[in-house]
Each structure stands twice: as C-alpha cells, then as structure tokens.
Amino acid sequence: MQLLHETRRLAYAATHAIALGLFGAGVSAQPSHPLDGLSAEELSNAIAILRKDGYLTDDSRFPLIELLEPDKEAVLAWKSGDPVPRQVRVVVKQGSDTHRGLVDLGADTVVQWDAAAGESMIMLEEFLGAMDLALSHPAFAAALGKRKLTAEDVFCLPLTAGNFGVEEEAGRRIMKVPCYVLPSGSNFYARPIEGLFAVVDLNAGEVMEVVDTGVLPLPEQPWGYTEAEIEGRHGALRPETNPARLHQPDGANFKLHGSRIEWDMWRFHYRVDKRPGVVVSLIQAKDRDRWRSVLYQAHLSEVFVPYMDPSEGWYWRTYMDSGEYGFGLFLSPLREGVDCPDYALYLPAVLHQDNGQPLEIPSAICIFERNIGDPAWRHFEIFAQSETEFVPAEGRPWTELVLRSASEVGNYDYLIDYVFQQDGKIRIMVGSTGLDAVKGVASTSMGHPGAAEDTQYGTLIAPHLVAPNHDHFFNFRLDFDIDGTDNSFMRTGLVAAELPDDSLRRSLWTTQTVTPATELDARYRVNPETPAMYHVMNTNQQSGLGHHPGYMVSPLGSVAYSPLDSRNDPPIKRNAYIDFTHWVTPYDPLQRYAGGEYAFQSDGSDTLSEWVKAERPIVNTDIVNWYTMGFHHIPHMEDWPVMSTMWKGVVLAPFNFFDHNPAITSRLPKTE
C-alpha cells in the first residue's frame, strides 16, 4: 500500500507539474526593490519569526505566503539605495482553524494575527489526503468493486466543490473526489469512472458521503498524446518538416536588472505570487528622453471555469482556478523550443510549500523578443517612382518583447503573455490548451440510442466520452497610472450624427464621450452592436496639441456576453464580475482579487460586484480597471486528446499619449 500511495502521489504531482523532490529549495537574490518577489531566505525567515513568537505548532500549514506591498506612495517615492521595506502576509492552517498573520521582516516581529474571514486556498497535502480518504472508505471500495476495479487500479482527482448553500456542508471544508482508471500511458483523464465520487470534509478528515449514481461502461482507449502513443494509434506520423527557426545570434536587446526588465521603449518590474502568478509593476514608456508612467501594476485577478452540466456529478464543477488553486503554485517549467524559442531567457520562480519552506520552480518564466515577419508599419509611395529610380517601401519590422508563463491547473494548461510593442501598445494574452475534461457515457457514436441524452450538455468526442460545454473567464486587475495616479475612465461611443438638411450626405457617425462619476456607473459590457472605445485618461496633463494622454482598453477575440444568472445561481454570484467587461474602482490595496480574499467556498459577499455598491467616486482619482475576458467552449472532436492552443486577450493602446507613432523612431535591425 505504501508503494501504491507513493505512485498516486507522484501521479498527482506529475499531473500538476509539482513533483515532490523535483524542484529545489530555492536560491534567489535578496530584494533590491520594494516590489521584488519574496526570496527563499525571506520565506524561511517569516516562518522562523512566527515560530519564535509562539504562533505556530507542529501541525501548522501555509496555504498562502505573499508579499504585502508597501503603500503606493512609498513605492513611487522610493529611490535606489533607500531601505527596502518588507512585510509578509501569511495564511496559516492549524487543524480546522485558519489564521491570517502579518510579519515585518525588518523588525523581526509579528505585527498582526487574527482569525481568517474565510476558507484558505487548497494545499497539495489536502489533495493527497482527500484522495486517500476516498480510496480507503469501505463504501467507495465496494462501488469500485461493482465496476471490477480496486483501489490499486485508480487515480483520483479531488476537486473544489463551491458553495451552494447546502445545510449539511455549512462550516465544513469540502472537496469532491471523482476517480479515473490509472493510465497505461500519458493521459490521466481518458478513462473516467463516471457516476462515482466521494464528498470529503478536509477539516474533519472524513468522508461525508459516497455518491454512486450507477455503473457506466468504461472507455477502453488510453488516448495517450506522446509521439510514440500517437504513432502507435494512428500509424506513421506525417513526414518531418524542415525547421523554421527564429534566432538572435548577437544576443538579446533587453536588459535584466534584478527584477526590472528594460527593452526598447519599455521598462517594468516582475515577480511571481502564488495566487495570480506573474505580477508586472511600474510599467513605463520612454518618450524621447522622459520615462512616463502607464500602469502601476497588472496581474491576473481571478479565473472562473463553470461547466454546463446539471447532473449530480457535474453541477458543482465551477472552479475558481486562481483563488482556489493558485496560478503561481501551478506554474510548470517551460520547455525550450516548444513553449518558448530556444534563444529565450528562462527564469525560476520562488514560492512556498505547504510547510512554508521555499520551493523553486525552474524555467517558470521566459523572456524573448519576437519578429514574425510582419511590418509594424510600411508605406510604398507610387508618386516617388520614376523611370530611372525605384524607391522601395519604407517601414519597420514588427518586433515585440514577450514575458510568458504557463500554469497547469488540472486538465488545462494556461499560457499568459505580457507583450510589449514598439508602437506603445501592450497586449495581455491568455492561451488555453491541455485536455478537455471528459464525462463517461454509454454512447459510442451519435447513432447510439442514448446519444441525444448523453450529449444534451456537451459533445461526444470519442467512444464513451462526452466533453461537457463550459466557460473560461479571466479577470485582470489593471491599475493604470497614466502620467500620474489621478486618472478617469471614459466611454466614447459611436452615435449617428445630426446633419443639416442641405447636406448631400445623409448618414455619418460621430463620437460621444461619457465619464462615469461612480463605480456603479462604470460597469460596461463590450457589445459589437453598440460600438465604443473604453479608455483611461489623465485630464490633468496635456500633450503638445492640448490633448489629454490616455490608453484604450480593447478586446482581442474575447467574449462580451454570458447568459448565466449572477443573482440566483450561487457559483455565478461568487463570480459576478463576468456580467461586465469593464469595472472601475478607486484604488484600494486590499482589493486585489475580483473573487475576494478567500475564494474557497466563498458566498460572493466579498467580491468586486459587492465592492462597487459603495458607489465611490472615480473621476480624477487613483482608479483601477478590472477587465474580464474569456470564451465559451463548445468542445469538438478536434479537441481530443489534446486541444490546440486558443488565444484570447486584451490590448492596451496609447490614445493621444504620444505626439506621434512611437514606432516611427525605431531602427531597422542590424544586418548579419
């Protein structure tokens, strides 16, 4: 049984790219800036201070340890050589109790310790414990026996179960545990044991219930996705192709100074936190000889993935992947030549384990420049040509800097790119790939008598496998500081112009700008039927022509509408930010996540949609834009066994910020 337990432990860890013992203990430089990520030494020191002051027991576990950023004013006033203030927020789980502490590393003391206001993020130890509780329960073993399986044959995946106001679950820390037949190859999700799951109370360490809705046929194919498995299933692979490589023989054009990156017209800081993953701060653009502020900070706020199947084994699958699991913790090492070009710079991330000790994830971030052969701008002038001289098109290649990470949360892999362009734009892109979550069914084809019922809420993508419909929503917190902290949010809509009676034109459009006064007024849903631009502007500053500098916030292929009900449906109420594309709030350093500080089993009372009911003023003050992007996923056979990467995003584009196109001053690359 010990070997079996360790096999399951490694199987789970491999599925989530956190194999125990694979990653080092973390060696990182000491902080040189107030927004630097916590070093391995700082993580260890925070635990040591808590232990020294008597706050910890042998059973203490740490769902979250993160930097508490200094006040924005202090960060903006900080200069190199000044002392670096370092405070650490710690969430501590001790049995069924959860506490929140604040440790001042400089003062070597605990400055705050109180009961947490909600349930903490899940921990790897709890995953493994829930799996073992389920498999060791007699009723679960009997249900496996009905399917001619034993505990040695299966792999279980404990999942967060949300909060549906069920009286029996009140005050408990719940996970639901479905299982799969252990794979013979690479695909852990290909053979679900449908109709069977355990309900586990993590705090009590007990199985509350074993749910068995009936035996269904097990899928037979292993559906592996390695090259050898694909070749074995499909025969010979397509012929090898000649490589099409990007290369940078003279080295990178960006410079790394600690956690600050400088490239072309941009400079910014980065770090990695357990919950949001990569955090990008102090983003500035160089305008001639002056560095100008664009954003104080940008990071992932929350990820919401609700499945559209009302059956007993699926209705509760409404995950908050960032707040419940952690995009930073589930960063997976990037593979050279697959995830990033071979000339990219790869950087580690230092996070923490359940016991609070440092954990270094190698190659968690890559940085690279990209030129895919498109022009940033070009013009061919026909009137410049003559019989004796050919004047070629003038232009510049589209070169950009990419900061990339990849988080594997369960069956999905999410790549997040922060892309900086030479024309002053910033793109934030999310690439979704990995494996569809699949449900076992009786149908083997659409001609099967039960196929219509089996596919009512999804698509049959393989014999005995339905992939249920679902959504992916990503909310980003964009703290704009355009030429200073006092900004305003605006909607400029396209409206029909009123024309004089004697005009030969009978239709034109013009623009109409609205500046919402309070945060409730600033909720907007991007809708193609009512075209508009949404932008953040500093009305206290002027360009050379008297324009106020601003930045537009525009979608790149993401959804603008969801029919889900945030008033009556509990998981949607917890994630009501999906109702609107744009939200705007006054800056509040404690309001970092749209799903609230404690997402696990939250009730929606501490969320973005509730904060805005305060109707705080948002004109000419320090504001934050919360942007929701995403897509509706109706699966299809081409998704299986591995999905092609689907990219969605948002572009932040200068609007009267520069006096001219910034890309005009870029140079042609050196010739080899």
Helix (H/G/I), strand (E/B), else coil: 643? strand
Residue with tokens 């639901």: 176
Beta bridge partners of 175: 160, 200
For residue 83, the one-letter residue type is P
Report residue 613: phi and psi, to 5°. Answer: -70, -15
The Cα–Cα gap between 580 and 571 comes to 16
How distant, in Å, are the alpha carbons of 61, 328, 329 from that of 123? 9, 13, 10
Other CB atoms within 10 Å distance of the CB of residue 133:
23
Max Cα–Cα distance, the chain, nearest Å: 91
Q: Tell me the residue length of the chain.
A: 672
325 is catalytic: no
Report residue 627: phi and psi, to 5°. Answer: -115, 125
Q: One of 12, 412, 551, 587 is an active-site residue; which one?
A: 412
Q: Any idea what DSSP says for residue 184?
A: S
Please give the radius of gyration of the chain, using alpha carbons only, rounded to the nearest integer.
27
Helix (H/G/I), strand (E/B), else coil: 631? strand
Q: Do 99 and 116 form a contact (C-beta atoms < 8 A)?
A: yes
Q: Do 668 and 399 form a contact (C-beta atoms < 8 A)?
A: no
The Cα–Cα gap between 562 and 475 comes to 14
| Secondary structure (H, E, C), 526-556 | CCCCCCEEEEEECCCCCCCCCCCCEEEEEEE
Nearest to 631 by CA among 650, 614, 620, 646: 646
534 is catalytic: no
The string of DSSP codes covering 548-613 is PPEEEEEEES--------TTT-HHHHHTGGGG-SEEEEE--TT---TT-S--BT--SSSSHHHHGG
Q: Do 583 and 575 form a contact (C-beta atoms < 8 A)?
A: no
Nearest to 553 by CA among 475, 471, 497: 475
Q: One of 264, 309, 321, 579 is an active-site residue; which one?
A: 321
How distant, in Å, are the alpha carbons of 105, 222, 666, 667 from that of 376? 47, 46, 10, 11
Beta bridge partners of 375: 397
How distant, in Å, are the alpha carbons of 56, 282, 345, 416 from that of 351? 20, 22, 20, 18
The Cα–Cα gap between 587 and 581 comes to 18
Q: Do 573 and 583 form a contact (C-beta atoms < 8 A)?
A: no
| Secondary structure (H, E, C), 83-116 | CCCCEEEEEEEECCEEEEEEEECCCCEEEEEEEC
For 475, the enclosing helix (H) or strand (E) is strand 470-480
Report residue 221: phi and psi, to 5°. Answer: -75, 140
Six-digit token string for 601: 């089993």
Q: Which residues are catalytic?
A: 321, 412
